[in-house]
Amino acid sequence: MPEISINTTQNVNINFNVANIGVRLGAYATDLTMKFCYILFINWAVISRLGLGKFDLDNWSVMSIYIIFYLPVTFYSLVQESLMEGQTIGKKLFSIKVVKIDGYQASFIDYLTRWVFRLVDIIGTGCLVGTVSMIASKIHQRLGDMAAGTAVITLKNDINISHTILEHISEDYQPVYAQVVRFSDNDMRIIKETYLAARKNNDYQTMSKLIQKIEQVSGIKREGSDAKFISTVIRDYNYYTGQ
């Protein structure tokens, strides 16, 4: 499964799994079903039950009524992604979401850009352009994603202790750096994820930047090798927060 590395506002890289094309199409089909059910409901509950033919309305008035009732379908994805931080009902059910690849929170303009490009990616070509562009893109971006600088990631990850801030420490463990309590759980999660990724890829530059950030925030001065220092910081945090 492709991954993207997002540089957060804390200048730390975090890897995310990109949602595959099948999952994205499944979420789209779910959203499409939701919109279709809404249209059926409006046709039955409002248009048929009220009986617009009973009223002496001209064609423009009838068209205006249709447009008003169908606005939720038109702006379905734009409104939901804006209010639900990159998710629609379909995306939420399939545990995927839209994120900015530069590490910042996606804005309304980003969601609007994706929504406008749906005319080319999805509506105007029957999903052909969007599907082809996702296949051609290394991180499965449709044209709207490319224009907005976004990607769709999966929130379904296999979680084990290596993916959390937890560390196995012995009962007689002796901590070294008391200053680690200055970090939050989220800080430590980012530190651990970045450390594991850098160690896996032999990315010494990222490891060095991470150490500089730890020293800057906590006031700790490194002792020993890079890997040993970060590993000690993580274990010390677990020791103090677990008391």
Tens-place pLDDT, residues 86-141: 999 999 999 999 998 876 778 999 999 999 999 999 988 888 999 999 999 999 99
pLDDT mean over 6-35:
81
* pLDDT in the model for residue 42: 85
The share of the chain scoring above pLDDT 90, in percent, equals: 35
As a whole number, mean pLDDT of residues 166-189 equals 79
Confidence of residue 235 (pLDDT cuts 50, 70, 90): confident
| Averaged pLDDT for residues 23-32 | 95
Tell me which of 217 and 91 has the higher pLDDT.
Answer: 91
Task: Check whether 12 has a pLDDT greater than 70.
Answer: no
At residue 182, the pLDDT reads 86
Write out the two tokens for 229. Answer: 């220092």
Give just the sign of the alpha carbon dihedral 168, 170, 175, 178.
positive
User: How much is the pLDDT for 10?
Assistant: 47
Regarding pTM above 0.85, the answer is no
Higher pLDDT, 190 or 102: 190
Average pLDDT over the chain reads 83
What is the band of 210 on the pLDDT scale with cuts at 50, 70, 90?
Answer: confident
Higher pLDDT, 114 or 17: 114
**Number of neighbours of residue 106 by Cβ within 10 angstroms:** 22
| Local structure of residue 44 (DSSP, 8 states) | I
69-83 average pLDDT score: 93
* pLDDT for residue 132: 93
Residue among 65, 79, 64 nearest 34 (CA): 79
SS3 207: helix
**Residue 102: phi, psi to the nearest 5?**
-95, 5
pLDDT band at residue 163 under the 50/70/90 scheme: very low
Phi, psi angle pair for 21, to nearest 5°: -65, -40
The DSSP 8-state label assigned to residue 106 in this structure reads P
Whole-number Å distance between alpha carbons of 221 and 243: 24
